[in-house]
Structure 1
Amino acid sequence: MSVPSDMEAHLRPLMLKALDGDAAAYRALLEELRRHLRVYFARRLAPALAANGDDLVQETLMAIHTRRLTYDRAQPFTAWLHAIARYKLIDHFRRNKLRMTLPLEEDAAIFATDDSEATSARMDVETVLATIPGKPAELIRQTRLEGASVAEAAARLGMTETAAKVSIHRGLKSLAARFGGKADG
């Protein structure tokens, strides 16, 4: 399970407001992060080490506070957050000379919340889509990434369904020619 886009959509504006000096937004952000980080660390610590989770939450919140000015406003906030949390967890394991082992049947819960690959892939897709004109890119985004039907995407952009299909086809063909893939999507 990757970080839901609504989580990013909720946390990122709070971080941006906090960076701009909004104390209420900063308090709200820290409270949201505290709840999220508790779950994050609980999934990664063995039950015998669960008590360390609160310490890791506090360490991570302190790191976020002291390093908040290093956050790049153009990047996803949750990727930055999880990078810090991951490093705090690694530091904890090293400090305590711990090696985590996990039965293979339980690995999905551990890897489920690491969104760095999904975030990176989404950024790559957005970069690629930025190389084609606006309407075809938006149609591809809506139909191929967000799951809208061609009719829905066409209606949102004020196009006929046929024109939208042609635009999607041409956009995919352009991407395939540029990046060497198949255009049939």
Structure 2
Amino acid sequence: MSVTSDMEARLRALMLKALDGDGVAYRTLLEELRRYLRPYFLRRLTPGLAANSDDLVQDTLMAIHTRRLTYDRTQPLTAWVHAIARYKLIDHFRRSKVRATVPLEDDAALFARDEAGDASARMDVEAVLATLPARPAELIRQTRLEGASIAEAAARTGMSESAVKVSIHRGLRSLADRFGGRSDE
């Protein structure tokens, strides 16, 4: 189950609103999770058991509903949802006396990401960017870390696209000179 950062942010925002009492956000969250969970279960069930995917989705949504207050607001929502879905799938396999196999192309689900390493790397990048003037640091952050295009960064800052490119280039060159790396991407 591949999750984009935009999808994570959208689902997490809906969950936080739902936890704060927004019923519309909660219904939207459950509907998005239903569309998200169904393919997850279908990929993991054998063709003979695929009919059980809707039951597994419902079981997972019920578990999310009954345990929603245990969600840690500081953590990614999809990791919490994955854990619940995985346990529901394991329970289903146990009840059905089915042994699950994972195709090799789905091996990413078997290995956890090193979130601590990601946080440490983000802090390192922020410390390095702090050595630059504010504008080039923000432009580098927007285009290289957040994935904004040059045009989007220009629109956000009110600069021309060429000025954005020059500022980013000079900022990267300054970092390369300061830290001994290469300035090209």
> In structure 1, which of residues 158, 164, 170 is the aligned counterpart of residue 168 of structure 2?
164
* Equivalent residues of 1:93, 1:99 under 8 A apart: yes
2:106 is the counterpart of 1:117: no
Which deviations, in whole Å up to 9, do the C-alpha atoms of 1:46-78 show, x marking residues without a partner? 111112212211221122112212222233222
Name stretches of at least 5 consecutive residues in structure 1 with no aligned partner.
none
Is residue 176–residue 182 contact of structure 2 (8 Å, CA) maintained in 1?
yes
User: TM-score, structure 1 length as denominator?
Assistant: 0.70
Give aligned-pair identity as a percent.
58
Q: Is the 8 A contact 1:3 1:113 kept in 2?
A: no
1:77-114 Cα shifts (integer Å, max 9, x gaps): 22222222123223333443422236x6xx43x35778
Task: Give the RMSD, CA atoms, in angstroms.
Answer: 3.6
Output the CA distance in 2 between the equivalents of 1:152 and 1:38.
Answer: 35
Q: Does 1:129 align with 2:133?
A: no
Give structure 2 stretches of 5+ with no counterpart: none
Whole-angstrom distance in 2 between the partners of 1:91 and 1:8: 26
Relative to the length of structure 2, the TM-score reads 0.70
Name the residue aligned to 1:148. 149
Map 1:9-158 → 2, pairs under 5 A = 9-101=9-101, 107-108=104-105, 110-111=106-107, 117=113, 125-131=121-127, 132-133=129-130, 135=135, 138-145=138-145, 146=147, 148-149=149-150, 153=153, 156-157=156-157
Shift of 1:20: 0.3
Distance 1:41 1:96, change over 3 A: same
Q: Distance in 2 between matches of 1:117 and 1:3?
A: 13
What is the count of residue pairs matched by the alignment?
175
User: Distance in 2 between the 1:172 and 1:157 partners?
Assistant: 24
**Structure 1 residues 112, 71: closer, same or farther in 2, change over 3 A?**
same
Q: CA 1:112/1:16 → structure 2, altered by over 3 Å: closer, same or farther?
A: same
RCO higher in structure (CA 8 A, sep ≥6): 1
